[in-house]
A = this chain, B = another copy of it.
């Protein structure tokens, strides 16, 4: 009975807060608290803060990253370590791993930020044309002005054209919302969807393993997370019977209303087949679920025979009753793909079949944060209007883009191959995205040592690995995994040579670790 427990714990917190004097006890505080000395209990303490926030966890930037940052500082201070640098394979941050920005995108950005460059002959004309168009769309012709809350009109129109080009399905610019990375749009959509308590509390179906933005946002919004396990033995495929099981179980104690799908998968790297997407859409239709499709890795496809199919495309092609009924929000980002521009915090969402009044509510809600960062919108505008054949930047743009995608595909294969050479580690094909998520066997004595240290066994291993080699991975427990199995997520982003070295060190460390605890 989770609702009763939650109610009781709230009650207790309230009583505690009142006992601390911040409750409705009149003006007792003003009567003489000055004499209590300055070290009284603060207003905002671990026990008096919003408990929902305390329950939020975010492994990608969790304790392991805190320790990695400390180690970097210690290295800078000359503290001797068994390694010379910390390799952060914990986060999909391509530029941090040495990937160079796409020249054209940055040229357009620089031109918009400092328009006197428009008369600099060293900038190509196609970049200048894009910059002039984008600047003309900014109020006062400055990226320093607020845009409309859902984003610059021209960029929303660009997104609509991009979606039409990609899928052969028209898009309405009024159903497109630019955002500060995909994360912001995902949370915004969840805010509309999540409410209630007890049996009417909104349940949200989320894959397991999942990207921890979902668990964090659901904890904060006090929604019920309903996990459906991906099939590790079928390359992390989405399994319909398992989805049904999770839904049925959820209906026992909450009100499931949302189904989140990550395709290509994060952290699991699987690419969904078209058939699977159709099944998911039918399921959402039959079970009356709002669909959220996280498609930020759509440009990162490496698996043979794998192809990206957008949920919006499949939905539209399925025709009625699906195409005009199933409510869908799909998400994209500047942070991944071949551009990897995480720092700009650019992204967008398209909504389909949204109730017109809900669309208005969504517009109102995004207006409170005024507008998404304009430099990110500008970069999005440049990305969606790449140099055409015959334009001066076309060849370089194509070459830079192809080189990045080729390198990523190579590293995806290399990572899978080398991981599978380590006895005790088993890695599915990295069909897409930017991560490997191998399973790892940990000896019972290592698990016992982890328990003694108060850590999940895979966190214990990852922390030991970090201290011993400088390699920073994220333990599988941060994403969720079937009980009794252990994993870690590592990015495929380090340059090929470094990646090889990293995997070699990892293999050696793991082998010794297993010996030590056998």
A468 CB-CB contact with B under 8 Å? no
Give A56 to B360 CA distance when docked, in angstroms. 12
Say whether, besides A110-B117, A146-B91, A44 and B96 are in contact (CB < 8 Å): no
A133 CB-CB contact with B under 8 Å? no
Q: Which residues of B contact A97 (CB under 8 A)?
A: 140
Q: Which residues of B contact A257 (CB under 8 A)?
A: 22, 43-44, 48
Q: Which of A330-387 contact B (CB under 8 A)?
A: 339-345, 353-355, 357-358, 361, 364-365, 367-376
Are B200 and A23 within 8 A (Cβ)? yes
Give A10 to B3 CA distance when docked, in angstroms. 14
Pick from B17, B50, B247: contact of A194, CB below 8 A: B50
Closest chain B residue to A98 by CB distance? B140
Are B44 and A192 within 8 A (Cβ)? yes
Question: Can you tell how many copies of this chain the complex includes?
Answer: 2
Say whether, besides A46-B357, A365-B53, A368-B213, A255 and B24 are in contact (CB < 8 Å): yes
Closest chain B residue to A143 by CB distance? B343
Are B286 and A34 within 8 A (Cβ)? yes
Say whether, besides A191-B53, A192-B44, A375-B344, A142 and B22 are in contact (CB < 8 Å): no
**Chain A: interface residue total (CB-CB under 8 A):** 133
Interface string of A255-281 (1 = CB under 8 A from B): 111100000000000000000000000
Say whether, besides A110-B113, A139-B96, A147 and B343 are in contact (CB < 8 Å): yes
Say whether, besides A34-B285, A192-B49, A193-B49, A145 and B374 are in contact (CB < 8 Å): no
Are B368 and A216 within 8 A (Cβ)? yes
A58 CB-CB contact with B under 8 Å? yes
Say whether, besides A56-B368, A96-B139, A196 and B13 are in contact (CB < 8 Å): yes
A498 CB-CB contact with B under 8 Å? no
Are A96 and B140 within 8 A (Cβ)? yes
Give A329 to B40 CA distance when docked, in angstroms. 19
Q: Which residues of B contact A285 (CB under 8 A)?
A: 33-34
